Amino acid sequence: MEHIFVINPYAGKHDSTEEVTQKVRDYAVGHPGFSHSIYVTKAPGDATVFVKKWISDHPDTHVRFYSCGGDGTLNEVVTGIIDGAGDPQKVQVTVHANGSGNDYIKYYATHADFNDVALLVDGAPHPVDVMKVNDRYSINVIDIGFDATVCKTGNDVKHKPLIGGRNSYTTGIVKGLFTARTNYVRMSVDGQPFFDGYMLLTTLSNGRFHGGRFMCAPRSKNDDGLVEVTLLKPMSLVRFAQLLGDYTDGTFLDDRKARQHIQYRQGSTVEVASNEAFWLVIDGEMLHSKHYRVQNLRHAVTFVAPKAR
């Protein structure tokens, strides 16, 4: 098997190219049969172009791509695999965690586990779902409404001191509280009406975490073919503050007091529309449209979780 490390030098707080390269070289010294290469991306979207072309040029080769960055880098690599018609039996993907958030990997293990090259090489493959969003893809979480404003703000400030880095999502929350607490949408799930009105936020999830530490989809399974649809209705600032702790640790769906503010459903296809174009976030990347169709593609890619310690 070929092992290809796709490094995004702009992910996280600093360029991790030298760090990752040295770790890979150190591992290779002790494992002479380890066939590997390193590719450093040059611009946004370059990981997708590289992965798609590599698969096209090597259709019969078993390969594992290591996404060295954050959730956005993983999204690019996964998109390249799908657009390149990568066979899940031959093409795998995993993460060397170098981003500021790396939310998807929290489904499986710790940040440290996903920074250990040996554990990743010896990891276990899992077929996982990917959501198709119009002509784009999302492996983790789609954010609409309040969270879209939060994520856009987080992206804008992620490289700034104090308010950026791991504090980016919190900075976005502060802005969202003043600008994005009511958002009109029409939604259906598997062709059935789900919601029509003003909401605070909606998440469509295969993963369980977003925003660095918030467990937005505690019941999600990333291989069952179903999207977790969680909608929070508008509420007062006081009630929002009370709910935030439960939203962080993932207990909000079981909170009786919170149920009046929540609509929840599972489904394989979700339609979301509004009268005006609105922001939607896929794995940290922004989209802007009046209508989105989200279809869950079951077992679209093979993801490798690190070997248990």
Query: Tens of pLDDT along 66-117?
Result: 999 999 999 999 999 999 998 999 999 999 999 877 999 999 998 999 999 9
Helices (H), 201-298: 237-249
* Contact yes or no for 196/187 (Cβ under 8 A): yes
| Residues 227 and 140 sit within 8 Å (Cβ to Cβ) | no
Instruction: Tell which CATH architecture fits domain 138-296.
Output: Sandwich (2.60)
Q: Where are the CATH 2.60.200.40 domain residues in the chain? A: 138-296
Residue with tokens 């070289």: 25
Kind and range of the H or E run holding 50: helix 46-57
Query: How does pLDDT run across 249-280, given as a tens digit for each residue?
Result: 999 998 888 888 999 999 999 999 999 999 89
pLDDT of residue 166: 65
Where do you find CATH 3.40.50.10330 in the chain? 2-131+300-305
- Predicted TM-score (pTM) of this structure: 0.91
Helix (H, G, I), strand (E, B), or coil: what is residue 146? Answer: helix
- In this prediction, residue 26 carries a pLDDT of 96
- pLDDT < 70: residue spans in the chain: 162-164, 166-167, 169, 176, 178, 180
- Residue 185 near residue 270, CB atoms below 8 Å: no
Give the CATH number of domain 2-131+300-305. 3.40.50.10330
Tokens of residue 29, six digits: 């010294």
**Cα 38 versus chain centre, distance:** 23
